[in-house]
């Protein structure tokens, strides 16, 4: 698609300043107490206003409209997909599915070391179905509940969960926003993600093996936790599975946006909640009542609007020509492997969503192996610091006093070993995928 190079113009320079200012406010969210969506939404609107003026001056308003519509389409698909996924997660939480899982694990009477490994393994696999944030919060409650008398176990256990949740989300399209973006863009097909399973597993296993040596091999005192799943919880799990299956089928077999399959799955939940609530009122059983629309009210709108702001702001910088400059500097200057490795490490400081969206917008000529590499590194690079991923930030809030930035930083060297080991495993095992260059559809 034709575009103007506005990188040296007043419109481009002002846009960069607006973006950097907005992102600085995002980073300082805990200090300013301003929700992260607010500055990026303002920045996105101002950047596109400047783009509109610049393109109008050159008589290219129709082209600017076309570019904006393209980004609206990309965000719309992501928004609908996430809206359904988050609603299902909220419903599982309302049915106390996660509470029942926590009670089961707490009551098993395992040693600290065995619990360390079990929570990490569950976090790794659960993250591939849910998301790293929800997984970290669920498993974090288990570690905190069991380890009240062992602060060191809680700290290391939380670090392991963050690394495992991020790693587990990197090898499935549903595990992370970045993998979802890559899948929806058509760069990597659904089943091609699974070649990242072993590299992702290595990313967690290496630091976990090192950290486990510091875990006491003692049995914690038993605690009572009798939480049970509400009626209908098992069926919601089944419907969530069918919803994921519908999304995959719409994409792979019908060649339709997976978000449409997710919306079909939302219909499953709405109809089921109707009959479940009807039975509950007939039996005067309040535990059966399930108001699916209340789960919409609990959707994290700050996150969804943050995605809007970031995607439109970064997309705007691409329209202005800055992403082409970045692509030349990174991919032509350093080579794809070095560029993808560096971008992954940057995701420990800068959110991985704008980084991945920038790469997808730049569309560098890369092989399948390299596209899988950036998917892997952007997914797991955030584990290097506690602030590098949504899982780490959320767990710092939930396990305040137990899990901290400085505590995580002490083990960054071990996590970095896992990061580079994962890259090495991918380069070795999937060497045949690095031969032919592909571009996003």
pLDDT in tens, 203-255: 999 999 999 999 888 887 766 667 788 989 899 999 988 998 998 899 888 98
**Residue of 82, 78, 141 whose CA lies nearest to 394:** 141
- pTM of this structure: 0.81
Q: In whole angstroms, give the CA distance from residue 117 to residue 205.
A: 10
Burial degree of 125 (CB within 10 A; 0-12, 13-18, 19+) = middle
**Residue of 189, 184, 101, 168 whose CA lies nearest to 138:** 101
Q: What is the pLDDT of residue 436?
A: 65
Q: What Å distances lie between residue 234 and 95, 96, 155, 158, 237, CA to CA? A: 9, 10, 32, 28, 5
Confidence of residue 199 (pLDDT cuts 50, 70, 90): very high
Confidence of residue 4 (pLDDT cuts 50, 70, 90): confident
Q: What is the pLDDT of residue 223?
A: 63
The rounded mean pLDDT for the chain is 87
Segments making up each domain of the chain, as ranges: 10-433
- Give buried/exposed letters for 15-43 (b at 16+ CB in 10 A, else e): beebbeebbebbeebeeeeebbbbbbbbb
pLDDT in tens, 284-319: 888 888 887 888 778 778 878 888 888 899 889 888
Q: What is the pLDDT of residue 439?
A: 61
The most confident of the ranges 43-47, 76-80, 188-192 is 43-47
Burial degree of 333 (CB within 10 A; 0-12, 13-18, 19+) = exposed
Q: In whole angstroms, give the CA distance from residue 173 to residue 182.
A: 8
Q: What is the pLDDT of residue 206?
A: 96
The most confident of the ranges 93-102, 324-333, 368-377 is 368-377
H/E stretch holding 237: helix 233-252
Q: What is the pLDDT of residue 318?
A: 86
Q: What Å distances lie between residue 111 and 121, 147, 156, 218, CA to CA? A: 15, 10, 14, 5
Q: In whole angstroms, give the CA distance from residue 167 to residue 180.
A: 15
Is the pLDDT higher at 441 or at 191? 191
Q: What is the pLDDT of residue 224?
A: 64
- Give buried/exposed letters for 169-198 (b at 16+ CB in 10 A, else e): bbbbbbbbbbbbbbbbbebbeeebbebbbb
229-243, 295-309, 336-350, 411-425: segment of lowest average pLDDT: 295-309
């Amino acid at each position: 698609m034709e575009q103007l190079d506005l990188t040296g113009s007043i419109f481009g320079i002002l846009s960069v300043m607006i973006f950097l200012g907005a992102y600085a406010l995002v980073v300082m969210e805990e200090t300013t107490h301003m929700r992260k969506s607010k500055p990026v939404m303002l920045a996105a609107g101002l950047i596109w206003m400047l783009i509109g003026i610049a393109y109008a001056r050159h008589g290219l308003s129709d082209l600017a409209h076309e570019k904006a519509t393209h980004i609206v389409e990309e965000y719309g698909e992501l928004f609908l997909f996430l809206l359904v996924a988050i609603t299902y997660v909220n419903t599982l939480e309302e049915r106390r599915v996660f509470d029942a899982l926590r009670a089961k694990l707490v009551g098993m009477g395992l040693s600290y070391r065995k619990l360390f490994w079990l929570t990490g393994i569950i976090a790794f696999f659960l993250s591939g179905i849910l998301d790293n944030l929800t997984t970290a919060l669920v498993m974090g409650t288990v570690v905190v509940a069991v380890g009240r008398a062992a602060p060191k176990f809680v700290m290391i256990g939380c670090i392991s969960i963050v690394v495992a949740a991020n790693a587990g989300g990197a090898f499935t399209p549903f595990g992370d926003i970045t993998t979802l973006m890559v899948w929806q863009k058509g760069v990597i097909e659904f089943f091609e993600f699974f070649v990242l399973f072993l590299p992702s597993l290595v990313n967690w296993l290496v630091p976990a093996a090192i950290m486990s040596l510091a875990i006491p091999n003692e049995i914690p005192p038993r605690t009572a936790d009798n939480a049970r799943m509400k009626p209908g919880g098992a069926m919601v799990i089944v419907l969530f599975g069918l919803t994921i299956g519908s999304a995959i089928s719409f994409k792979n077999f019908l060649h339709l946006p997976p978000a449409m399959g997710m919306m079909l799955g939302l219909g499953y939940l709405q109809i089921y909640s109707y009959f479940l609530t009807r039975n509950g009122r007939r039996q005067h059983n309040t535990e059966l009542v399930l108001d699916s629309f209340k789960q919409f009210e609990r959707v994290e709108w700050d996150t969804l609007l943050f995605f809007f702001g970031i995607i439109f702001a970064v997309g705007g910088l691409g329209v202005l020509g800055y992403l082409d400059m970045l692509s030349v500097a990174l991919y032509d200057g350093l080579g794809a492997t070095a560029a993808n490795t560096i971008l992954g490490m940057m995701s420990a400081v800068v959110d991985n969503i704008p980084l991945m969206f920038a790469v997808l917008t730049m569309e560098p000529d890369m092989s399948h192996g390299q596209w899988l590499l950036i998917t892997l590194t952007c997914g797991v690079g955030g584990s290097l610091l506690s602030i590098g991923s949504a899982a780490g930030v959320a767990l710092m809030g939930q396990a305040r006093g137990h899990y901290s930035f400085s505590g995580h930083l002490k083990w960054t060297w071990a996590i970095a070993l896992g990061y580079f080991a994962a890259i090495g495993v991918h380069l070795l095992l999937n060497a045949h995928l690095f031969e032919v260059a592909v571009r996003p559809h």
